[in-house]
Amino acid sequence: MYAAKYGDHLKGAIISSMVDRIGDYTDHLAQIREKALTPDELTYMKKCEAENNYDNDRYQELVGKLNDQFVDRKKPAAIAHLTETMSVPLYNAFQGDNEFVITGKLKDWNFTDHLKDIKVPTLVTFGEHETMPMETGKRMAEMIPNAKFVSTPEGGHHHMIDNAPVYYDHLATFIREVENGTFNK
């Protein structure tokens, strides 16, 4: 939103694992859950969500199972010591209880009509095994006038951790190209 409204204050923008319309995300989450969970597990998750019952151990185990495959795939020891910085109340207000159910303010998010307003060079980057649908990232890069799409092999939603060398090479290349005026879509 900032890049669309105040792009004259930016040299470039990086959209890392974010969709322009939440419906693409929730549709993709449904596909992910159907493939990754047994029918019983999926039924149980949906029952808990319908009852607004997210705090039970079994539900949280299933969230963990999905997180391991699509959010934090690698969990490198190098970051295990990091201090938790997430604001749970803020996350819950926007997202909901977890990555796999959208109950917060973002549940109706749709920015598609404004992608054309992002005029600065833009890098759209997604992980290969991600909660966000890769097709959406590619479409967004096509709709933003001066954007390029890249993906990080073996990365999940946190592909900056799962495959840091590739992710940060994408970022460094983008920043270098923006700085020296050679960025091309």
Q: pLDDT at residue 106 above 70?
A: yes
Average pLDDT over residues 119-132: 93
Question: Would you state the structure tokens that stand for residue 9, as one six-digit string?
Answer: 């204050």
Q: What is the mean pLDDT of the chain?
A: 89
Task: Measure the CA–CA gap between 41 and 22, rounded to whole angstroms.
Answer: 24
Q: pLDDT at residue 115 above 80?
A: yes
CB 124 within 8 A of CB 174: no
pLDDT of residue 77: 59
Q: Which domains does the chain have, with CATH numbers?
A: 2-21+110-180 (3.40.50.1820), 25-95 (no CATH)
CB 56 within 8 A of CB 44: no
Distances in Å between the alpha carbon of 58 and those of 30, 95, 116? 19, 21, 43
Highest mean pLDDT among 31-35, 137-141, 163-167: 137-141
Task: Measure the CA–CA gap between 152 and 165, rounded to whole angstroms.
Answer: 9
Closest CA to 175 of 123, 125, 127: 123
pLDDT of residue 90: 82
Q: pLDDT at residue 148 above 80?
A: yes
pLDDT tens-digit profile of 50-101?
A: 998 988 999 999 988 888 887 777 766 555 555 565 577 887 788 877 777 7
Contacts (Cβ under 8 Å, ≥6 apart) of 118: 3, 4, 7, 13, 144, 145, 147
Please, which contacts does 47-52 make with residues 24 or more away whose CB atoms are closer than 8 Å?
A: 49/101
Write phi, then psi, for 58 (nearest 5 degrees).
-65, -45
Lowest mean pLDDT, pick from 56-60, 114-118, 139-143, 153-157: 153-157
Task: Measure the CA–CA gap between 36 and 38, rounded to whole angstroms.
Answer: 7
Residues above pLDDT 70, as percent of the chain: 93
Q: pLDDT at residue 140 above 60?
A: yes
